Chain A
Amino acid sequence: MSDIIYKPGHEPHPRETRRIFRNIDRVGYTPSIDSFIKDGGYETLKKVIKTEPASIIDEVKKSGLRGRGGAGFPTGVKWTFIPKGNTKPVYLICNCDESEPGTFKDRFIVHQDPHQLLEGMIIACYAVQAHYAIIYMREEFPEAAKIMRTALKEAEQHHFLGKNILGSGYDLRIILHRGAGAYICGEETGLINSIEGVRPYPRIKPPFFPAAIGLYGCPTIVNNVESLCQVRQVLMRGGEAYATDGAQRSPGTRIIGVSGDVKRPGYYEIISGSITYGELLYDLCGGPREGRTFKAIIPGGASAKVMSCTEVLKGRNPDGSVRKMSIFDVPMDLDSIAQHGSMSGSGGVIVMDDSRSMPEMLRNLNRFFAWESCGQCTPCREGNPWMLKLSERICAGKAAPEDVDLLKSVADNICGRTVCAFGEACSWPVQAFTTKFREEFLARTQPINALKPHNPETAEARKFLSRED
């Protein structure tokens, strides 16, 4: 599309494919419905609203589209979890609580191209026959909320929303619900509880998906902002055409948000699997800062396991033989990185160069997770403050070498024993950092510290243990 002019500094790299971000930072493009319609907006909706809802679900299943919120669950399959013969209302919730540190893709969509989301959402609602949908927007997006409200009004005025949409007889109401600033509200069942007005404690599994029992006990589909935009792309291109794009098991484009120590941090939309982490960091992002070398990469938001740039990974050649590779050789799709023990998650790539201290980085992450733990279940509630205190002590040079092992052991005790995936989110970084950068942690410790009291209570209590008289 040569007629699209982007703002200076936001021009796409030749290896990028701007589909979802086609109109982001585009000269002359506003969040208004007119801009969107001029760009071919709502045409897909007009086309599909005449078809059967089941055919839309089929199309999305055929496309192989996987959710973009982090877990990568196939979107079409999720939709089919609504119980057969359901008589309750079906709700669709757009999860716009993008809070994963390092992730900033949805914010561009809701700030600059809200109608793209609305169109995808209306299509999705029609597919699952939801007549009431909610955009759950995080508290930290006050501007986006204003923009989205205007967009909802505009869509209603153009009969894309409301009663009898485009004369199809299908009714849909979308409301905007603001969060109050909690990471855990991004967990779909925590989000549902938040909408219900109770504490956003994630719900116990099973049921594993709210599609069976969700908002107010009714079948509920929770989809990420980007996923819903991708739904529009699927219907625009056709499921089969979409499936052929990019990596076989995770087709379509991916939006990568790169932050940290690279020359050009920012968003990049690429065909899934078309480039490697090395190409992303060196070609698209321009490599490390002057005089620096890359040290570590968190490939998918703060909760993904950190990858050391020097660690040797085992890759498989097409003939089945094993070859040595590094993180830079791993293609950017959902599954490749998972084979090496991390995850591509929400696409937030955090890059650290050799100027960064790993214990400090971990302490920062621990502080985030300790603050954001909802406190519902024991391991996460009690383990996170413990891990924070340990890592703070390591950073302050008041820890003994065995404290590093203790830190990892606490993470091991949280992982896999919690109500929701937060347990993994908070323990994976600790496990990965302390294992892969163990030497760096040990360097901050001193054996003598094991004998020193390091909390005021113990110091006070010791007075009674040794009596001078």
Chain B
Amino acid sequence: MSSQQEQLPKDAAAAEGKVNVQINGKWYRFPKGTRIADACNSVGIHVPCFCYHPKLSVAGSCRMCLVEQGMPPRLAPGATPTYNDDGYQTIQWMPRAVVACANTVAENMGIRTDGTVCREARRAVLEFLLTNHPLDCPICDQAGECKLQEYTADYGQPSHRFTEAKIKKGKNISIGPRVNLDQERCVLCRRCVRFMKEIVGEEILGVVGRGGHNAIACFPGKTLDSNYSMNVVDICPVGAMTSKDFRFKMRVWFLKSTPTIDTNCGTGTNIFIWSREQQIYRITPRQNDAVNSCWMPDNHRLNYKYINSEKRILTPLVKTDVGAPQRPGAWEPTLRAVSEQLRRCNPKQTAIIVSARLTNEELYLAGNLAQLLGISQLDIVPRSGEPDGMLICADRNPNTTGAKLILDKDGRTLDDIRLGIKNGKIRHLIVIGEDVTAEAAIPESHLSKLDYLLVIDHSETATTRAADVVLPGVTFAEKYGTMVNITGRLQRLNKAIEPLGASRADWDILRSLLQGSGGDMSLLTARAQSPMEILDEIAAQFPAFKGVSWAAVGNSGIPITETGETIPLIEREQTKQ
């Protein structure tokens, strides 16, 4: 036998900085210091947890993750360990279960989740949790995504032995402007307390009362009004913390979740859009440790109402004459008329204002359109605000980096366009996805001086009202595409709902205009029928996008460029580790 074969598994594992762990009879290798819960979950053996959250400190208090653990027997002084044929020591099982969240794996450790010890421990904990629980699942918002419900179904018992009077606690307590608390449903995992303390850094929530009367509450004189307060709703494993916005709106099992990204600022927080049919009901953060960890700000989360609002423009609008009101028009004749008009415009007197809220694909098409028409005056509308030192960055456009990479524009020539419109040098204007009256400080009186104003936007604004033609685009929830966040990470937008009414995705409109006004499709191959294919075009043309494809971007994105920008919350999380 070679020395390689003689090597014991423990030495082989140690060489990689790992340890051998037996889980339910099978041997695995994990890096040293891995928590038992994480180790089990990583190999598909589910360990139920209430209080354990990978981003928060370990509380170890719910006792749901109890597992049976064993180690090799302690050797008598001077004795040498004996190994079986596979090179492992025998495991001596401990009579008591240990918590999988607070304990880490060790060499030759055994874990059993399928034995009586573990099964009984889980059953007992669930029975305890339900003793004083109100059992109001039929009217609870969490039903369907409740850990207590799931675990009871998986590991609990069908009937209850508790027949005494339940302990009464506070219900429907408004603990903040956006969050309600039901203390009776609470399992006291204290995830919310730890989140506010450790992630937000504000001690707002705490536990009051003794023993069975323990309850979550705000500290005196404080309310849960942080802009990150709704994250406690997400991490609450039960229906104790509920979102005032989402309460009683929809049963969660009817909702479809679409992984996409938030477009309220340059961070590009990863999110799920929860929709049913054509209606969006809520937005929740989606874990991405390079972008937003598990969190998102409340104001971004709640900024979805405009998608299903009455202000949406659902058909093309055309002003048939000067001073005439806008009338609904059909798509094809309107597109033909617009294309014809664009061809007639003097490119020196024409400008395009695009939004950095558009996807890379749309910016690319807008760039192509400008090139085709010979328009050189094109820019984005910069948008900035106070960064919050967490996830909201100063750049309130989601795709400034993309605009810089694809159009080489960052809003610096917007002043020239504004001036050109004011002094009449610019006679024709194309606005895509912006309300220039509000965001680019171009007053309506200046817009009315233009000969021709084409606006592509999803909702009615002062700019669309001034337009000669309005082509109804869509919001970020209704289209596919990619964006590059402030750190240079390319991320995907996924379509959660179909474009409302007769509106069309902005890339689709731009593609039609490009086809209609140019005729020369060499700039855009006939292949580019979808945002995915347009991305391939971009990948072929721009060095930063080299090798990028829709599939390669995936749901978690890929870094494509260095910007030097960082996300403070992620920085903190990484230094903590």
Interface of A with B (CB < 8 Å)? 182, 199, 201, 204-206, 370-386, 389-390, 393, 406, 409, 413, 416-419, 454-458
Question: What residue of chain B has the Cβ atom nearest to residue A423's Cβ?
Answer: B63
> In the complex, which residues of chain A have a beta carbon less than 8 angstroms from the beta carbon of B161?
406, 409
Question: What residue of chain B has the Cβ atom nearest to residue A457's Cβ?
Answer: B165
Contact of B214 among A370, A372, A381 (CB under 8 A): A381
Give the CA-CA distance A321 to B96 in the complex, in Å. Answer: 32
Give the CA-CA distance A375 to B124 in the complex, in Å. Answer: 16
> In the complex, which residues of chain A have a beta carbon less than 8 angstroms from the beta carbon of B97?
416-417
19 A-B pairs with CB atoms under 8 Å apart are: A199-B206, A199-B207, A204-B59, A204-B61, A205-B102, A371-B211, A373-B210, A375-B212, A376-B214, A377-B61, A377-B63, A378-B125, A379-B124, A382-B129, A385-B132, A389-B165, A406-B161, A416-B97, A455-B165
Report the minimum CB–CB distance from A104 to chain B (whole Å): 23
Given the known A-B contacts A201-B61, A204-B102, A378-B64, are A384 and B163 also in contact in the complex, defined by CB atoms under 8 Å? no
Enumerate the 6 nearest inter-chain pairs by beta-carbon distance, A residue then B residue, closest first: A375-B214, A204-B60, A373-B211, A413-B124, A382-B128, A389-B164
Give the CA-CA distance A201 to B64 in the complex, in Å. Answer: 18
Report the minimum CB–CB distance from B39 to chain A (whole Å): 16
> In the complex, which residues of chain A have a beta carbon less than 8 angstroms from the beta carbon of B125?
378-379, 417
Let me know if B210 and A379 touch, CB within 8 A: no
Does B376 touch A at the CB level, under 8 Å?
no
Does B127 touch A at the CB level, under 8 Å?
yes
Does B391 touch A at the CB level, under 8 Å?
no
Let me know if A456 and B211 touch, CB within 8 A: no
> In the complex, which residues of chain B have a beta carbon less than 8 angstroms from the beta carbon of A389?
164-165
Let me know if A418 and B210 touch, CB within 8 A: no
Give the CA-CA distance A105 to B125 in the complex, in Å. Answer: 37
Question: What residue of chain A has the Cβ atom nearest to residue B206's Cβ?
Answer: A199
Give the CA-CA distance A389 to B132 in the complex, in Å. Answer: 13
From 202 to 230 in chain B, residues with beta carbon under 8 angstroms from any chain A beta carbon are 206-207, 209-214
Let me know if A385 and B167 touch, CB within 8 A: yes
Contact of B63 among A205, A372, A379, A390 (CB under 8 A): A379
Does B131 touch A at the CB level, under 8 Å?
yes
Report the minimum CB–CB distance from A249 to chain B (whole Å): 19
Give the CA-CA distance A204 to B161 in the complex, in Å. Answer: 29
Give the CA-CA distance A158 to B182 in the complex, in Å. Answer: 58
From 98 to 142 in chain B, residues with beta carbon under 8 angstroms from any chain A beta carbon are 99, 102-103, 120-121, 124-125, 127-129, 131-132
> In the complex, which residues of chain A have a beta carbon less than 8 angstroms from the beta carbon of B212?
370, 373, 375, 381-382, 384-385
Dominant secondary structure of chain A at its interface with chain B: helix
> In the complex, which residues of chain B have a beta carbon less than 8 angstroms from the beta carbon of A383?
128
Report the minimum CB–CB distance from B94 to chain A (whole Å): 10
Let me know if B60 and A384 touch, CB within 8 A: no
Query: What is the interface size of chain B, counting residues whose CB is below 8 A from a CB of the partner?
Result: 40
Does B179 touch A at the CB level, under 8 Å?
no
Let me know if A417 and B60 touch, CB within 8 A: no
Report the minimum CB–CB distance from B214 to chain A (whole Å): 3
> In the complex, which residues of chain B have a beta carbon less than 8 angstroms from the beta carbon of A417?
63, 66, 96-97, 121, 124-125
Question: What residue of chain A has the Cβ atom nearest to residue B50's Cβ?
Answer: A378
Contact of B131 among A376, A377, A382, A416 (CB under 8 A): A382
> In the complex, which residues of chain B have a beta carbon less than 8 angstroms from the beta carbon of A381?
128, 188, 211-212, 214
Does B166 touch A at the CB level, under 8 Å?
yes
> In the complex, which residues of chain B have a beta carbon less than 8 angstroms from the beta carbon of A205?
102
> In the complex, which residues of chain A have a beta carbon less than 8 angstroms from the beta carbon of B162?
386
Give the CA-CA distance A370 to B127 in the complex, in Å. Answer: 18
Let me know if A416 and B96 touch, CB within 8 A: yes
Give the CA-CA distance A418 to B124 in the complex, in Å. Answer: 12
Given the known A-B contacts A375-B210, A378-B63, A381-B214, are A390 and B99 also in contact in the complex, defined by CB atoms under 8 Å? no
Give the CA-CA distance A375 to B213 in the complex, in Å. Answer: 8
> In the complex, which residues of chain B have a beta carbon less than 8 angstroms from the beta carbon of A201?
61
Give the CA-CA distance A182 to B124 in the complex, in Å. Answer: 27
Does B40 touch A at the CB level, under 8 Å?
no
> In the complex, which residues of chain B have a beta carbon less than 8 angstroms from the beta carbon of A406?
161
Let me know if B131 and A386 touch, CB within 8 A: yes
> In the complex, which residues of chain A have a beta carbon less than 8 angstroms from the beta carbon of B99?
204
> In the complex, which residues of chain A have a beta carbon less than 8 angstroms from the beta carbon of B47?
none
> In the complex, which residues of chain B have a beta carbon less than 8 angstroms from the beta carbon of A454?
163-164
Report the minimum CB–CB distance from B256 to chain A (whole Å): 34
Question: What residue of chain A has the Cβ atom nearest to residue B59's Cβ?
Answer: A204
**Most chain A Cβ neighbours within 10 Å, of B60, B161, B212:** B212
Let me know if A206 and B102 touch, CB within 8 A: yes
**Other than the known A204-B102, A377-B62, A413-B124, what 12 A-B pairs have Cβ atoms closer than 8 Å?**
A204-B58, A204-B60, A205-B102, A371-B210, A374-B211, A374-B214, A375-B213, A377-B63, A379-B125, A381-B188, A417-B63, A455-B164
Give the CA-CA distance A163 to B323 in the complex, in Å. Answer: 92
Report the minimum CB–CB distance from B469 to chain A (whole Å): 64
Does B187 touch A at the CB level, under 8 Å?
yes
Report the minimum CB–CB distance from B122 to chain A (whole Å): 10
Give the CA-CA distance A79 to B120 in the complex, in Å. Answer: 37
Give the CA-CA distance A382 to B214 in the complex, in Å. Answer: 10
Question: What residue of chain A has the Cβ atom nearest to residue B133's Cβ?
Answer: A382
Question: What residue of chain A has the Cβ atom nearest to residue B126's Cβ?
Answer: A378
Give the CA-CA distance A310 to B124 in the complex, in Å. Answer: 33
Contact of A382 among B66, B102, B121, B132 (CB under 8 A): B132
Question: What residue of chain A has the Cβ atom nearest to residue B190's Cβ?
Answer: A376
> In the complex, which residues of chain A have a beta carbon less than 8 angstroms from the beta carbon of B188?
375-376, 378, 381
Given the known A-B contacts A370-B211, A382-B128, A413-B124, are A458 and B63 also in contact in the complex, defined by CB atoms under 8 Å? no
> In the complex, which residues of chain A have a beta carbon less than 8 angstroms from the beta carbon of B207?
199, 375
Give the CA-CA distance A454 to B59 in the complex, in Å. Answer: 36
Report the minimum CB–CB distance from B160 to chain A (whole Å): 11
Given the known A-B contacts A199-B206, A413-B128, A417-B124, are A378 and B166 also in contact in the complex, defined by CB atoms under 8 Å? no
Give the CA-CA distance A454 to B162 in the complex, in Å. Answer: 11
Report the minimum CB–CB distance from B134 to chain A (whole Å): 11
- For B148-180 the 0/1 string (1 means CB < 8 A from A) is 000000000000011111110000000000000
- For B54-76 the 0/1 string (1 means CB < 8 A from A) is 00001111111010000000000
Given the known A-B contacts A206-B102, A454-B163, are A418 and B129 also in contact in the complex, defined by CB atoms under 8 Å? no
Let me know if A379 and B102 touch, CB within 8 A: no
> In the complex, which residues of chain A have a beta carbon less than 8 angstroms from the beta carbon of B120?
413
Give the CA-CA distance A56 to B335 in the complex, in Å. Answer: 94
Give the CA-CA distance A418 to B207 in the complex, in Å. Answer: 18
Let me know if A378 and B62 touch, CB within 8 A: yes
Give the CA-CA distance A50 to B14 in the complex, in Å. Answer: 47
**Most chain B Cβ neighbours within 10 Å, of A201, A378, A386, A458:** A378
Report the minimum CB–CB distance from B321 to chain A (whole Å): 71
**Most chain A Cβ neighbours within 10 Å, of B103, B209, B214:** B214
Give the CA-CA distance A290 to B238 in the complex, in Å. Answer: 59
Give the CA-CA distance A419 to B214 in the complex, in Å. Answer: 16
Report the minimum CB–CB distance from B501 to chain A (whole Å): 49
Question: What residue of chain A has the Cβ atom nearest to residue B164's Cβ?
Answer: A389
Report the minimum CB–CB distance from B135 to chain A (whole Å): 11
Question: What residue of chain A has the Cβ atom nearest to residue B166's Cβ?
Answer: A457
Question: What residue of chain B has the Cβ atom nearest to residue A409's Cβ?
Answer: B161
> In the complex, which residues of chain B have a beta carbon less than 8 angstroms from the beta carbon of A375?
188, 207, 209-214
Report the minimum CB–CB distance from A253 to chain B (whole Å): 32
Question: What residue of chain B has the Cβ atom nearest to residue A386's Cβ?
Answer: B131
